[in-house]
Amino acid sequence: MSATHPTSLAPTADAALATDRAAIRTKPAGIATAVRDALLAALIMFGLSIPILLLRTEQGETGSLVLRQRWPLVAVCCAIVFAVRLALRLYGIRALPSRKAVRREVVTTSADPAAQSGFRFATIATPLFLGVAVAFPVLIILGKGGLSESRYWIDLGVLMLTYVMLGWGLNIVVGLAGLLDLGYVAFYAVGAYSYALLATTFGLSFWICLPMAGLLAAFWGILLGFPVLRLRGDYLAIVTLAFGEIIRLVLINWVDLTGGGAGISSIPRVTFFGIPFSQDEDGFAARFGLEFDGMHRIIFLYYLILVLALVTNLVTMRLRRLPIGRAWEALREDEIACKSLGINTTNTKLTAFATGAMFGGFAGSFFAVRQGFISPESFNFLESATILAIVVLGGMGSQIGVALAAIAMVGGPEMLRNLGFLKSIFGEGFDPNEYRLLLFGLAMVAMMVWRPRGLISVREPSVALRERKSIAGSFVGEGHG
């Protein structure tokens, strides 16, 4: 009896099945059957299009609504469905199942080369990205030929890095410890409001408030952690989602403290370690003998968030190699086995929650100091979803993957703003901005089809005896909450 791991057996069987199916489907379909099938599809399309396409309400001359019937549109759509279905039936369908069979085979046999290429990619990409990130403002200023001209790009860079940092923070909770957290934005909000309130009420400087905001967020992380530790999977996700909403609703309704929906404005700006970025004589520009420019502050903010993000990354990488990080990953792989090895799973989960929340809090106080104004609007569920999407898209647990995903998720939609040339194809009325989310959704679906475990799905081991080999994503657990 050969001892085979079940996962390596199952896909092969699947592949064989798919090949069988392909063999069945590739039997030449008669033209008559194809036409009948296409007619059926067109009929279904016709049925569906009556309520959706055919009738349109419009304002009549008297101002009342009238129904306009659009038969030509329905005819065109049905014809398209008929033609496409016929073509698929006659030629196209052969390609689909056979491609499927080949693809599955690749997945089963080439897990190792894929892992190796991902690993090589990470080793080259890390210094490259770091270099680009450090030189980014300089490159942009040189390219754009001026400080104020490059404002848009540096602002975009700051935004991207904020999400990189948030993604890395959430990656500790979701990617390493495998706890699905849908309310991460709550800690972002705690950090932002901590800074805003401490600075406006007590006049504390950013550099004192930053660690305090992190600690407060970590505290709230532990507070959330305690009741939800027993929950797993979907239940944990729901409770964290609720926590995120609770924080937001408290911020809206506790008007005395937070200013309610109006938010907190005139939050003190960031200073260069005590020297304000102002036009005064003791301002940053005057002290360093520069001509005053508002962009100095923006560039400083860029480097500030870069440092914060890198600190997040360094601490996470370090923690991964420490027993606590290994325990997080072990928790993601198998919680029961962890218990049997004497790991206190409660404390381990709490530390993951608290560490993730702390970085969220840092990012939050950066957000407040950058904006100068915060309101509960900025901390809605969509933010949590975006950050979670960044982690999932990047490949859970992969630092470089999360960074890439953050850049794609934040930068991608911004890039669409600049697709003016599409107007020459689709006419003057075409506004790519309106299709941003649509294109974005399509890109996400495509991602999940081709790389279902994220951009970088391989896991790098935290320790090696002889040779460091990457672990194919198919072995790595996704966590059970």
| Cβ nearer to another protein, comparing 81 with 327 | 327
Q: Whole-number minimum distance, CB 172 to another protein, in Å?
A: 13
Question: 379 with 258: CB under 8 angstroms?
Answer: no
Q: Is residue 480 close enough to count as binding another protein by CB under 8 A? A: no
Q: Is residue 108 close enough to count as binding another protein by CB under 8 A? A: no
> Candidates 23-31, 94-102, 259-267, 461-469 — which segment interacts with another protein by CB under 8 A?
461-469
Choose, by CB under 8 A, the member of 108, 412, 477, 480 that binds another protein: 477
> Candidates 3-11, 187-195, 362-370, 422-430 — which segment interacts with another protein by CB under 8 A?
3-11
Q: Whole-number minimum distance, CB 10 to another protein, in Å?
A: 13
Choose, by CB under 8 A, the member of 14, 333, 414, 431 that binds another protein: 333
Q: Is residue 456 close enough to count as binding another protein by CB under 8 A? A: no
| Cβ nearer to another protein, comparing 258 with 351 | 351
* CA separation for the pair 364, 376 (Å, rounded): 12
Q: Is residue 232 close enough to count as binding another protein by CB under 8 A? A: no
Q: Is residue 334 close enough to count as binding another protein by CB under 8 A? A: yes
* CA separation for the pair 156, 25 (Å, rounded): 50
Site size for another protein (CB under 8 A) = 45
Q: For the residues of 139-201, what is the DSSP string, one character each?
A: HHHHHHTSTGGGHHHHHHHHHHHHHHHHHHHHIIIIIIS----S-THHHHHHHHHHHHHHHHH
* CA separation for the pair 55, 71 (Å, rounded): 9
* CA separation for the pair 24, 135 (Å, rounded): 57
Choose, by CB under 8 A, the member of 27, 62, 438, 466 that binds another protein: 466
Q: Is residue 471 close enough to count as binding another protein by CB under 8 A? A: yes
Choose, by CB under 8 A, the member of 7, 26, 117, 201 that binds another protein: 7
Return the structure tokens found at 200: 């406006």
Q: Whole-number minimum distance, CB 167 to another protein, in Å?
A: 21
Supply angle C-alpha 320, 238, 262, rounded to 5: 95
* CA separation for the pair 19, 96 (Å, rounded): 11
| Cβ nearer to another protein, comparing 120 with 321 | 321
> Candidates 217-225, 319-327, 418-426, 437-445 — which segment interacts with another protein by CB under 8 A?
319-327
Question: 319 with 299: CB under 8 angstroms?
Answer: no
**Quick one: CA torsion of 352, 385, 360, 189, rounded to 10 degrees?**
-130
Choose, by CB under 8 A, the member of 323, 420, 441, 452 that binds another protein: 323
Burial class (CB in 10 A: 0-12, 13-18, 19+), 60: exposed
**Quick one: CA torsion of 234, 239, 243, 246, rounded to 10 degrees?**
120
Question: 196 with 374: CB under 8 angstroms?
Answer: yes
* CA separation for the pair 179, 480 (Å, rounded): 7
| Cβ nearer to another protein, comparing 165 with 343 | 343
Binding mask 339-378 for another protein (x = CB under 8 A): xxxxxxx-----x---------------------------
Residues forming contacts to another protein in the complex (CB under 8 A) are 1, 3-5, 7, 315, 318-319, 321-324, 326-327, 329-330, 332-334, 336-345, 351, 459, 461-469, 471-472, 475-477
